[in-house]
Each structure stands twice: as C-alpha cells, then as structure tokens.
C-alpha cells in the first residue's frame, strides 16, 4: 500500500518536543512517550499537505511490533498497517480489524472495548496497536496541527 500518490513530494520531519508538549501528548494519549524526538513524513503536492506517516514500535507481550500509521491532511486516520510482528501470528488481529481505525480522530471512544473491537487471543496486540495510534493522534494534535 502506498501512503501517498507517486506525484507527491515526501519530506522527513523531526519534532523536538518541549516538556510542555510531551506532557500534553501523554495526557491526551493516556500513555507514555518513549522519546521527545518524533520523526514523521509529510506528503504534499504543490502547496497542499496530503497527509502524514508515522512509524512506531511497541512491545506486545515480550517482543516488538512495528506499525505504520497514515494520517490524512485533516489528522484523521487513513490506515494503520503492521510492518513487523515478532509474536506468534495467532496474536495478530486479522487485516479487516485494522479498517475500524479509518477516519477516526482522537476521542474518548478510541479505546479497546469502546470504539475499537477487542480480539480474543490478541488482547495485548489490540492494546499495543491502539496505544500506538493514540500517541500518533495526540502528537498530531499537540505538535503538528497547532503549529500549522
């Protein structure tokens, strides 16, 4: 899957979060950031932003999983994709499960068992993916959208 059309210009961006931004993101996401340095990619065409791509790695049970979260220009989720998953594949939700993130923004329903369906046998994966997405959305809200 391509995050942006072939004609898009893709720029690597790096955020150096302040203590205030870090605290606000953690409060909004209800989870801890591992670093105050956030790297993401911005896709644009001419003078308009097409969207943003973030990569994140979370420990699911005992091993890491790496996710790609693609946001549309308005900050809503375009899609979420697993890039690497080192736990047994039985712990990974089926591809259709990921479609429930499409179009979502940060809100109180973006939690497992609320607006995100839990998956029997993959509870820790669901939690890790959802928390990773919440960090991305909170980072966008606090450090990217407010700076635009």
Q: Which is more confident, 63 or 6?
A: 63
Between 19-29 and 123-139, two packed helices, what is the crossing angle to 10 degrees?
140
Residue 42 clears pLDDT 60, i.e. is over it: yes
Instruction: Report pLDDT for 50.
Output: 94
Instruction: Report pLDDT for 123.
Output: 86
Average pLDDT for 140-148: 83
Beta-sheet strand order (sheet of 77-85): 9-16, 37-45, 48-59, 64-72, 77-85
Computed from CA positions of residues 76, 79, 80, 83, in that sequence, does the dihedral angle turn out positive or negative? negative
**With contact defined as beta carbons under 8 Å apart, do 115 and 107 qualify?**
yes
Structure tokens at 26: 């953690």
Least confident of 14-18, 122-126, 134-138: 122-126
Residue 80 clears pLDDT 70, i.e. is over it: yes
């Amino acid at each position: 899957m391509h995050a942006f059309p072939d004609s898009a210009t893709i720029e690597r961006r790096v955020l150096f979060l302040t203590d205030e931004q870090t605290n606000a993101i953690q409060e909004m996401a209800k989870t801890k950031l591992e670093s105050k340095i956030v790297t993401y990619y911005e896709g644009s065409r001419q003078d308009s932003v097409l969207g943003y791509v973030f990569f994140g790695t979370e420990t699911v049970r005992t091993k890491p999983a790496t996710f790609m979260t693609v946001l549309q220009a308005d900050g809503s989720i375009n899609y979420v994709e697993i890039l690497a998953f080192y736990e047994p594949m039985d712990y990974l939700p089926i591809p259709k499960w990921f479609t429930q993130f499409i179009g979502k923004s940060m809100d109180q329903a973006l939690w497992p068992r609320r607006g995100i369906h839990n998956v029997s046998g993959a509870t820790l994966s669901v939690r890790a993916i959802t928390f990773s997405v919440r960090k991305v959305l909170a980072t966008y809200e606090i450090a990217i959208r407010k700076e635009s």
